Amino acid sequence: MTKPILRPATADDAMAIARLHAASWIIAYRGLLSDEYLDNDLAGERIAYWSKKIPLLSEREFIILATDGQDHAAGFIAVMDQPEIGYSALVDNLHVRPDLKGQGIGKSLMQQAARVLLNSGRTSYYLWVLNGNDPACRFYESIGGVAADETTVHFGGKDVKATRYVWETFDKVLQ
């Protein structure tokens, strides 16, 4: 794929975002979450989630959609106004279509989110990664993310550990 086209997501994008989100989870979380959860209408659950969430975003929250040249969803990032322990915002979701991983889409989305945050006076972000999602951890570390702390979350029908990755500045992600 050529360089993705990045644009703000709208409520009309909820279905495409949800399908991409479900496809990403099914691959990334296989073995980490229960097969029953991943195989039981995850796409339908994500459609309901994003259809409700997108219209409720505050003016300080945003979703950026990466598309190919034909406006098909290639990835997305959702950033929430949830400052915590000194970090300006939460990267709530970052997903790239599984067949397009490794092509720079995730990095482009993280960079664009950093630019949007900088334009609003915010200088850092954080996110949570399920332990065992090693490809995600390697990706975040490659763009300057630092593992900071850990928690246990109830997700997908079971308790799982998650690690917080932080960016105190956007210097490395914007390189």
Domain positions in the chain are 5-122
Q: Which fold does the domain 5-122 belong to in CATH? A: Aminopeptidase (3.40.630)
Q: What's the CA gap between 160 and 152, in Å, rounded? A: 5
Q: Along the 175 residues of the chain, how does pLDDT read in single tens digits?
A: 568 899 999 999 999 999 999 999 999 999 898 889 899 999 999 999 999 999 999 999 999 999 987 778 999 999 999 999 999 999 999 999 999 999 999 999 999 999 999 999 999 999 999 999 999 999 999 999 999 999 999 988 889 999 999 999 999 999 9
What residue type is assigned to position 80 of the chain? Answer: M
Indicate the angle between helix axes 42-53 and 14-28, nearest 10 degrees: 130
pTM here is 0.94
